Structure 1
Amino acid sequence: MSVDVDLTTLSSTMVYAEVFNMMMSPDDYIGKTIRITGIFTVYQDPETKQVYCGVIVQDATACCAQGFDIAMPENALYPQDYPPAESEVTVVGELQADRSMEEYGMIFLRLENVTFE
């Protein structure tokens, strides 16, 4: 998979700044393939059993964090097909936006068609 934006080569300050740019100007990045290293987060809803996951990056002082939802492959089973929670991962995926809450000023960015390196 060809990568359009490789955040793995940048310092933590620059990664945080670039992710901030993506959040502020998502249309400049939608459809691009992103490579990012960060902390893999996972949450399983106890009632629905739905699994939500993401990759989080922090700024240089670790006071602020941003990240993306990760759309795991449809056939992925939790937990065996997922990285360990809170582990450092490098993920490559296509950036897409969930605009279902845009009328309230919120756009959620997610990586789709992901692979872990």
Structure 2
Amino acid sequence: MYKSIIAFFLLLLFTTSTFAKENSSNADIDLTRMSSTMVYSMVYQMVTDPQKYVGKRIKMKGAFSSYFDEEANQRFFGCVIKDALACCSQGLAFELAKPRKFPSEYPSEGTSITIIGTFEFEKVEDGIGFPIIKDAKMFR
């Protein structure tokens, strides 16, 4: 079960991958105002050293992604961002503050979205875990 969850978040790191009307002052880190190179670097840093960012409000723009883990019987959602050359991607999982019905109330895969929420590190087992944006709002 945990292998599938971790595999999804690793997939977000290397997957393919941008619109919202939310005040940037609501975010500690607004990735929507950075160059694609800076965004890629910041998300990479968040994934590799998540403890620095726990509790920060993050705003990001990217492509909607989802994954259903059959073992855990749970769907996970992600926001994926391409780098400047569009050859590599970084992504973060997110969990909406107000749950929606999937798939009818979610965008289709690859649709450009913006999310804003609180960065957390979800521990799965033995200190292993993944970064996730919790209490998120999602905009197209």
Q: Given the two structures, how large is their TM-score scaled by the length of structure 1?
A: 0.84
Structure 1 alignment gaps of length 5 or more: none
Q: Which residue of 1 aligns with 2:130?
A: 108
Alignment correspondent of 1:90 = 114
- For residue 101 of structure 1, report the CA deviation from its aligned partner: 4.2
1:65 paired to 2:89: yes
CA–CA distance in 1 between the matches of 2:67 and 2:45? 26
Gaps of 5+ in 2: 1-22
Q: Distance in 2 between matches of 1:114 and 1:59?
A: 23
TM-score, scaled to structure 2: 0.72
Q: 1:33 aligns with which of 47, 52, 57?
A: 57
Deviations 1:12-45 (A, max 9, x none): 1110011111122211111111000001101235
Compute the displacement of 1:84 (Å): 2.1
Over the matched positions of the two proteins, sequence identity in percent amounts to 32
SS of the residue 2:44 aligns to? helix
Cα deviation for residue 49 of structure 1 reads 5.7
Partner of 2:18: none
Higher relative contact order (CA 8 A, sep 6+): 2
Q: By how many angstroms is 1:107 displaced? A: 3.3
Q: Give the CA deviation at 1:91.
A: 0.5
Which structure dedicates a bigger proportion of its chain to helix? 2
